[in-house]
Amino acid sequence: MAIDNRQPTSICLINQKGGCGKSSTCFHLAGAFAAMGHRVLLVDADPQGSISQAFFGSDAVEQMPAWETLAALFDDRCNHIDPYSLIRQTHVDGIYVLPANQHLATYNAPCPEQGGVMQFALRDFLEPLTSFGVVLFDCPPNLYQCSWNAMIAAKFVLIPIPPEDFGTQGIRAVHQAVANARVLNPSLRRLGHLITRSDRRMLVHRAYESRLRDLYGELVLHTTIPELSAFKVALACRQPVQMHAAKSAAAERTRELVDEIVARIQNRKLQKEAA
For residue 274, the model assigns a pLDDT of: 43
List beta partners, residue 42: 97, 136
Does some domain include residue 45?
yes
DSSP designation for 223: -
For residue 275, the model assigns a pLDDT of: 39
Does some domain include residue 1?
no
Count of C-beta atoms within a 10 Å radius of residue 152: 22
pLDDT at 5 over 60: no
Does some domain include residue 2?
no
What is the total count of domains within the chain? 1
CATH code, 87: 3.40.50.300
Does some domain include residue 3?
no
For residue 269, the model assigns a pLDDT of: 62
Does some domain include residue 4?
no
Q: pLDDT tens, 200-226? A: 888 888 888 998 999 999 999 999 999
Q: Evaluate whether 87 touches 34 at the Cβ level (below 8 Å).
A: no
Does some domain include residue 239?
yes
- Side-chain-side CA neighbours of 151 within 13 Å: the count stands at 30
Q: What is the mean pLDDT of residues 163-169?
A: 65
Going from the C-alpha of 112 to that of each of 49, 116, 158, 190, the distances in angstroms are: 20, 8, 20, 20
Rounded Cα distance between 128 and 185, Å, is 17
Percent of the chain's residues with pLDDT above 90: 73
Give the domain extent around 123: 9-274
Count of C-beta atoms within a 10 Å radius of residue 204: 11
Q: 238: closest CA among 102, 52, 77?
A: 52
Q: pLDDT tens, 137-160? A: 999 999 999 999 999 999 999 999
SS3 206: helix
Rounded Cα distance between 121 and 129, Å, is 14
Q: pLDDT tens, 242-273? A: 999 999 999 999 999 999 999 999 887 656 54
Phi, psi for 95 (deg, rounded to 5)? -115, 130
Q: Please, what is the Cα angle at 192 between 29 and 119, to 5 degrees?
A: 80
